[in-house]
Amino acid sequence: MSERSTVDKTASPAGAASLPLAGQRVVEFTHMVMGPAVGAILAELGAEVIRIEPLGGDSTRNLPGSGAGYFPMYNRNKKSLCLDLKSPEGLAIARRLCGSADVVVENFRAGTMDKLGLGYEALSADNPRLVYCSEKGFLSGPYENRTALDEVTQMMGGLAYMTGPPGRPLRAGTSVIDVTGGMFGVIAILAALEQRHATGRGQKVSSALFETTVYLVGQHMAQMAVTGQPAKPMPIRISAWAIYDVFETADGEQVFVGIVSDGLWQKFCEAFGWAAEAADPAYKTNVQRVAQREALLPRVRELFKTYRREQLVAILERTGLPFAPIGKPEEMFDDPHLAANGSLAPTTLPDGRETRLPILPIEMDGRRPTQGGTLARVGEHCDEILTGLGLAPGEIADLRTRKVVG
């Protein structure tokens, strides 16, 4: 619990009290994915996260197509308060709420929050213990005022180049930079909260899409530094291992198999009856097998085509080889491993339908630190939050009538 605030912090959802961030209040001014991802992680770890939405709700709630999953995935376990931030009274409520916060998260364009009077300088003057996280397209520098999206920085930072075949840059198949940038934001927040124990003061922290992308392609930059040769796009890369590819099975399915050590090569040969190959000096080491890849890979492809996928998977699992049937996102709903370890939390969608969505992929003390998957309705917690700020029911009703809150 914050040592600073005298404003009542309303109760977090059931189960949150035993989680590591219980007692921390987070006020979130965000949209789309990157900013909401920060709040989603903090909420799942037990923080009380209050999502400030415009009257009528965040437009992210209603995105079609590939954006339809953004809101339910990254806004669970949060409280919803709708405010008209263009009105003096709405802004006053926002500032008062931020005065009770341990953390503020925002991901609007540079300068937007300052113009509203909700920037770090203004809020920290009233609340010096505040940790203020800005999620941006670019960190400080020549590009800082550019508009960026996940896909923009994947293209700009080299990730799209590395993902697609030559001449066909291809974005990754999920919002990997938005989410990873959000994770870096959480790391910065947790570091700032820890530092606050020593200094008694908060600070402004930031993470950004472009720098996140460059961090992820850093291994390819390091490869260039070590070898003197630029990294080639992944579809035509020179693999470090002879057998490290996707193979077709007899029933038209696909399985990835990687043999990344000499010991695994011996296990592979034993499992599939390749005694002669196991004893062949030309295949003794990985370097030697890589030199023989053009002859070796077609033989492995023919071997695997004699098995149905379930047969091949059973052999590979017994052998301990790295492998993966090629899965699709919709198949994860029925994955037996995820079902057994509780990786999917029940979630009620805005239209009332029930589903299950992934929780944080971590364990703490052998348990999954999570409080489920509640998704707030538009403005659901308005009365609760404003009452906690000391407003009387009549005042709240008047503000709602005048469309200051919702």
Torsion angle in degrees (nearest 10) through CA of 367, 369, 371, 373: -100
Q: Which of helix, strand or coil describes residue 152?
A: helix
Q: Torsion angle of alpha carbons 265, 267, 270, 275, nearest 10°?
A: 30
Largest CA distance in the chain: 86
For residue 245, give the H/E element and its range.
strand 243-248
Residue 122: C-alpha distances to residues 29, 95, 127 (Å): 15, 9, 9
**84, 114, 178, 335: the active-site residue:** 178
Across the chain, how many H-helices and E-strands are there? 18, 11
DSSP state of 67: G
Q: Determine whether 150 is an active site residue.
A: no
**Alpha carbons 176 and 181: distance in angstroms, whole number:** 8
Contacts of residue 197, Cβ cutoff 8 Å, sequence gap at least 6? none
Active site amino acids: 178
